[in-house]
Amino acid sequence: MKSARFIGSKKVAIEDVPAPTPGKGEVLLEVDYCGLCGSERPQYEEGYHQHQGHELVGTVIANGPGANARIGAKAAVYLTRFCGKCEMCQQGLTTLCTTITSKENIGWAWPGGFAEQVVAPEENLMYLEPGVDAKMGVLLLDTLGTPFHGLRAVNAAEAKAAFVAGCGAVGLGVICVLKSLGIPKVYASDRPGFRLNEAEKFGAIPIDITKEDPVAVLDAIGGVDVAVEAAGIPPTLQTCIRVVKGNGRVLALGEQPETFELTVDLTSRLKDLSIHRTWYFPLSEWKENVKLASSGFFKQTDRLVTHVFPLEKMQEAADVFYSGQAVKVLVTPKAD
């Protein structure tokens, strides 16, 4: 089968590889769409030993021994393996599995969705609802599902004003969820260009960081209830801490470096603020999210998928995505 692999120096190779065979408890899917993700940038630049792709929706075409998935059904694939038996998994908190702590993620631990077919554990399948197409299924993973989990954790639905630092695909997903929740004022900061313009089109009040200091802008309105760090760099996390009002909530959503310094001034230390870190969504939230999608809850999601490329043009897809001139870029091995 055809696959697309990052080989280093921002190059992609289209390769013929053996089609996967589902093992015990596994399912074989024919890939419909797979999205590129910022977490794959290191492999785009440095290469990887297998094809990746973890934001995918596919069609079930075969079951391995012991699996009983619905043939012909469309399903998204949950990112990480989980045991299903530990205390956390029993509560549906699969991201916190205490048995499989190494985070065995599709695309890293085994070949992913940048290919014609992929295998996944049956328990990792998340079926789509009627009215939710495959593209929306991809968005319900990292672009909307991950932000929504974090926003639930900080009670964002109660906010009157919110701030989002960073307008990449995840940051724009945060804005989409906040506006879908009906938050009256959502501020968003980034450098000028495509993504900040998109934030404004989603209904956010843009802050061009080359011209304005987000702290000064938000201090002038008395601060925000919720601030979301979506850029993954320490300075924006520090900004989020400074812009929340008393009893404010900071969501550290971006992937920060393993070690960094954070300066918290006296004013911030006296706010009784909380900082919450989340990284993906638990399986228990999928059914609610997909039902919300089916009901039309998420607003302007058509703006999130800006490009779709055939698998054979994965090089062009990756170049466009990592240029910053796109929101979500999907690849498909099928005629779109």
Q: With bands split at pLDDT 50, 70 and 90, how would you rate the model's confidence at 102?
A: confident
Residues in the chain: 336
Q: With bands split at pLDDT 50, 70 and 90, how would you rate the model's confidence at 335?
A: confident
Angstrom distance (rounded) from CA 254 to CA 237? 9
Angstrom distance (rounded) from CA 104 to CA 253? 20
Q: Could you tell me if 272 and 297 are in contact, meaning their C-beta atoms sit under 8 angstroms apart?
A: no
Query: 108-149: per-residue pLDDT in tens?
Result: 999 999 999 999 999 999 999 999 999 999 999 999 999 999
Q: With bands split at pLDDT 50, 70 and 90, how would you rate the model's confidence at 90?
A: very high
Dihedral of alpha carbons 291, 155, 243, 239, sign: negative
User: Looking up tokens 């909307």, which residue turns up?
Assistant: 144
Q: Which pLDDT does position 334 carry in this prediction?
A: 87
Q: Could you tell me if 185 and 207 are in contact, meaning their C-beta atoms sit under 8 angstroms apart?
A: no
Mean pLDDT of the residues in the chain:
96
Q: With bands split at pLDDT 50, 70 and 90, how would you rate the model's confidence at 217?
A: very high
CATH ID of 146-277, from 3.30.1550.10, 3.60.15.10, 3.30.470.20, 3.40.50.720: 3.40.50.720
Q: With bands split at pLDDT 50, 70 and 90, how would you rate the model's confidence at 336?
A: low
Query: 261-320: per-residue pLDDT in tens?
Result: 888 888 888 999 999 999 999 999 999 999 999 999 999 999 999 999 999 999 999 999
**CA-to-CA separations, 2 to 16, 117, 157, 240, 312, in angstroms, rounded:** 5, 9, 44, 44, 8
Q: Could you tell me if 189 and 195 are in contact, meaning their C-beta atoms sit under 8 angstroms apart?
A: no
Q: Helices (DSSP H) in 26-115: which residue ranges?
A: 41-46, 87-90
Q: With bands split at pLDDT 50, 70 and 90, how would you rate the model's confidence at 34?
A: very high
Q: What is the pTM of this model?
A: 0.96
Query: Side chain identity at 25, as an amino acid letter?
Result: G
* In the chain, where the domains are located: 2-142+282-332, 146-277
Pairing of strands 305-310, 125-127: unpaired
CATH hierarchy code of domain 2-142+282-332? 3.90.180.10
User: Looking up tokens 């939230």, which residue turns up?
Assistant: 285
The residues near 216 (Cβ < 8 Å, ≥ 6 apart) are none
